[in-house]
């Protein structure tokens, strides 16, 4: 163990270790346990496969870098993710040095299947330690294992671990240090080996894996009672659908119901800061920049952090508990109806939080036509960036009254907007799959992991990473667009006693005047036209843009300034306009980052251009239908 490992010269480079294993082996939990919060998340150069790098201390005190590689079933890649895993292991991934050692993570409760990939990896000849992970769940499921026998059969160290409880980490780090300190010369060199197996080799390895698993299993009782019991309910032909719909409904209700208090606190905090700015700065452009630009704009968006985190909380819980693949199972047949598969459901559900990870999650879809279609419709899922827009408009125009036990009208309208996005996506998928991305029906073949309690620490870490990304976005894209918009709105100055408001007189107002004729038929005002332009950067900018526009126009009117954006809009817009504005945002592709990630994922501008074009057309038509229907009902 670590005590036996001789100290190494300090001049040696920091060892690079990779965590590899089948999907659902618990790699990410082990990565979190080994690196704590010392993680850096990015992408591999040239591809949008997430690269998670962390630092840890080996058993002998040496620092080491650890990479959490995407789950794979073998070195014969079936998806982009798996290709990256293979290339990193073989030292062929651009911008990534070859690893010095591998931690192979195997699920102790699924040895016969996971050992095949482990055997293939061991065959590469790199220093290896096997983490026999989730040993507690295996025991819970009636398995008694012999790690020593397993180590003897595999010919490499095997350490039982329970990543989520941080059990077995010290022995693992000790074995890793010892393995790295061992003689390297007698180890085969990976070189240009591809690790790929033909059918015969694959079968032989499967047989060997099953034999080793049999030898390592001392006692076995019928499998996964809890998982079978829960699957009996959650995959039930009727109850399964009802439960999934109820879960989604609760999720969207919670986004509204749970977030009110923290949102009020954030808004009160920004109001306090604005008061302080008034107290310490003279009336002039600087105060206007800070209060009307930065605080009104960035503050309006940051206030939605609680809602975004609640949404992510649900998605992380669904993923960590093992339910997400069940949802894919339940949805597969319906997705098949529009030419897709249950595989697309997981990226699409992730897109409710943000289309970017959703689009990136399509890498696991084997069928390329299904994958492209999923990418093209992902922006139609109601992402968290739309929440600020929806919340402001719903808060201003829809009464906050209950229409049944635990069901609020505002939450119901929000649910309706989500449903509109889903139906829009399904309709788009149907047309795209039949007319644009033609080809044979895709497939649905997926492993459904056992259920487990999500670990609070992993969920908290996931939420923190999302919160940080959102705040960074608020501090960069939204901050910069807000300041540019403030400047465009503030200059040139409208003459004293002019009948024209400052926003209308400004440069931004003149740009909006040019755009306004295009959006007038769908009920949009000049202020909305103005807000739509910077909102191309990100949807939530529409809220900050409206906040800044009206803050500048109401300047000097203390009563108006004291009112929230929602109250201001309620006084200035008709209900028909507000509903058309909501309908527009169900479809409009207003997010530069989504367009950029689509370009990267599809290797060119053809598909992002198609996506932007068809989504704007849908947005325009939907807003027009909504506006004119509302006007016909006397709501204009």
Partner 1 sequence: MQLDIAPLRHLLRVESIDWSAIPDGEAQRLRSLGVDEGAVIEPLHRGILFFRDPLAIRVGRMTVALRLKVAAAIRCSATEQ
Residues that bind partner 1 in the complex, under the rule CB under 8 A:
73-74, 76, 78, 109-110, 112-113, 116, 141, 143, 199, 202-203, 206, 223-224, 227-228, 231-232, 235-238, 240-241, 325, 328-330, 332-334, 336, 341-342, 366-367, 440, 443-448, 450
8 A C-beta contact, residue 548 and residue 485: yes
Least distance to partner 1 from the beta carbon of 411, Å? 26
Q: What angle separates helix 606-632 from helix 592-602, to the nearest 10 degrees?
A: 140
Least distance to partner 1 from the beta carbon of 84, Å? 17
Which residues have CB under 8 Å from 380's CB, separation 6+?
A: 421, 422, 424, 425, 428, 586, 587, 615
Task: Between 285 and 451, name the residue whose CB sits nearer to partner 1.
Answer: 451
Main-chain phi, psi angles of 170, to 5 degrees = -60, -50
Helix (H, G, I), strand (E, B) or coil at 41: strand
Dmax (CA) for the chain in angstroms is 90
Least distance to partner 1 from the beta carbon of 447, Å? 6
Task: Between 176 and 243, name the residue whose CB sits nearer to partner 1.
Answer: 243
Q: Distance of alpha carbon 84 from its chain centroid, rounded?
A: 19
Least distance to partner 1 from the beta carbon of 586, Å? 26
Task: Between 333 and 606, name the residue whose CB sits nearer to partner 1.
Answer: 333
Task: Between 443 and 498, name the residue whose CB sits nearer to partner 1.
Answer: 443
Which residues have CB under 8 Å from 414's CB, separation 6+?
A: 252, 255, 256, 390, 391, 394
Task: Between 195 and 566, name the residue whose CB sits nearer to partner 1.
Answer: 195
Number of other residues whose CB lies within 10 A of the CB of residue 118: 27
Least distance to partner 1 from the beta carbon of 344, Å? 14
- Strand extents, DSSP E, 149-288: 158-160, 217-220
Least distance to partner 1 from the beta carbon of 26, Å? 14
Helix (H, G, I), strand (E, B) or coil at 101: strand
In angstroms, rounded to a whole number, what is the distance separating the alpha carbons of residues 556 and 567?
17
Task: Between 368 and 567, name the residue whose CB sits nearer to partner 1.
Answer: 368
Task: Between 231 and 458, name the residue whose CB sits nearer to partner 1.
Answer: 231
**Antiparallel, parallel or unpaired: β 128-133 and 101-107:** parallel
Say how many Å lie between the first and final Cα of the chain, rounded.
Answer: 76
- Strand extents, DSSP E, 13-100: 16-21, 39-43, 50-57, 63-68
Cα dihedral 623→628→630→631 (10° resolution): 140
Task: Between 48 and 341, name the residue whose CB sits nearer to partner 1.
Answer: 341
Which residues have CB under 8 Å from 132's CB, separation 6+?
A: 106, 108, 145, 147, 150, 158, 159, 160, 161
Least distance to partner 1 from the beta carbon of 1, Å? 30
Least distance to partner 1 from the beta carbon of 133, Å? 14
Least distance to partner 1 from the beta carbon of 124, Å? 18
Task: Between 247 and 487, name the residue whose CB sits nearer to partner 1.
Answer: 247
């Amino acid at each position: 163990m670590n005590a036996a490992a001789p100290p190494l010269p300090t001049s040696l480079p920091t060892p690079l270790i990779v965590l590899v294993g089948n999907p659902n082996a618990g790699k990410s939990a082990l990565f979190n346990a080994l690196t704590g919060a010392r993680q850096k998340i990015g992408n591999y150069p040239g591809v949008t496969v997430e690269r998670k790098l962390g630092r840890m201390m080996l058993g002998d005190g040496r620092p080491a870098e650890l990479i959490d590689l995407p789950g794979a079933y073998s070195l014969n890649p079936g998806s982009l993710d798996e290709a990256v895993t293979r290339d990193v292991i073989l030292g062929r991934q651009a911008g990534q040095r070859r690893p010095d050692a591998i931690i192979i993570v195997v699920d102790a409760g699924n040895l016969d299947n996971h050992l095949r990939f482990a055997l293939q990896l061991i065959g590469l000849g790199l220093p290896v330690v096997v983490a026999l992970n989730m040993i507690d769940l295996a025991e819970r499921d009636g398995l008694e294992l012999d790690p020593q026998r397993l180590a003897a059969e595999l010919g490499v160290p095997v350490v039982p671990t329970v990543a989520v409880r941080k059990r077995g980490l010290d022995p693992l780090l000790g074995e890793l240090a010892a393995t790295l300190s061992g003689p390297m010369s007698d180890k085969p060199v990976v070189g240009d080996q591809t690790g790929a197996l033909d059918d015969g080799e694959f079968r032989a390895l499967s047989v060997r894996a099953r034999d080793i698993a049999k030898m390592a299993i001392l006692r076995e009782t019928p499998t996964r009672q809890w998982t079978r019991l829960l699957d009996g309910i959650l995959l039930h032909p009727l109850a399964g659908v009802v439960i999934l719909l109820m879960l989604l409904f609760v999720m969207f209700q919670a986004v509204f119901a749970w977030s009110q208090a923290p949102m009020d606190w954030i808004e009160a905090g920004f109001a306090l800061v604005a008061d302080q700015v008034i107290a310490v700065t003279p009336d002039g452009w600087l105060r206007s920049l800070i209060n009307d630009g930065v605080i009104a704009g960035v503050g309006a968006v940051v206030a939605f952090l609680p809602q975004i985190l609640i949404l992510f909380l649900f998605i992380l819980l669904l993923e960590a508990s093992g339910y997400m693949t069940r949802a894919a199972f339940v949805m597969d047949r319906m997705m098949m109806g529009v030419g897709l598969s249950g595989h697309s459901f997981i990226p699409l559900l992730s897109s409710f939080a943000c289309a970017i990870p959703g689009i990136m999650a399509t890498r696991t879809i084997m069928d390329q036509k299904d994958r492209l279609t999923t990418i093209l419709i992902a922006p139609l899922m109601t992402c968290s960036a739309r929440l600020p827009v929806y919340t402001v408009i719903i808060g201003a125009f829809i009464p906050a009254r209950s229409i049944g036990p635990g069901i609020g009208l505002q939450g119901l309208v929000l649910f309706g907007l989500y449903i509109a996005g889903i139906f829009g996506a399904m309709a788009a998928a149907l047309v795209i799959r039949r007319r644009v991305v033609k080809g044979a029906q895709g497939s649905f073949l997926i492993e459904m992991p056992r259920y487990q309690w999500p670990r609070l620490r992993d969920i908290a870490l996931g939420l923190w990473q999302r919160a940080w990304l959102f705040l960074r976005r608020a501090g960069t894209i939204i901050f910069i667009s807000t300041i540019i918009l403030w400047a465009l709105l503030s200059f040139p100055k409208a003459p004293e006693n002019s009948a024209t408001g400052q926003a209308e007189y400004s440069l931004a107002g003149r740009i909006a005047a040019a755009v306004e004729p295009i959006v007038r038929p769908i009920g949009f005002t000049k202020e909305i036209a103005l807000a739509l332009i910077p909102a191309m950067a990100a949807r939530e900018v529409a809220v900050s843009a409206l906040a800044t526009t009206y803050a500048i126009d109401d300047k000097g009117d203390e009563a108006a300034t004291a009112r929230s954006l929602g109250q201001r809009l309620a006084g200035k817009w008709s209900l028909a306009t507000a509903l058309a504005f909501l309908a527009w945002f169900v479809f409009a592709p207003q997010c530069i980052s989504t367009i950029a990630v689509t370009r990267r994922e599809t290797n060119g501008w053809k598909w992002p251009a198609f996506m932007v074009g068809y989504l704007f057309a849908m947005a325009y038509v939907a807003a027009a239908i909504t506006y004119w229907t509302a006007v016909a009902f006397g709501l204009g």
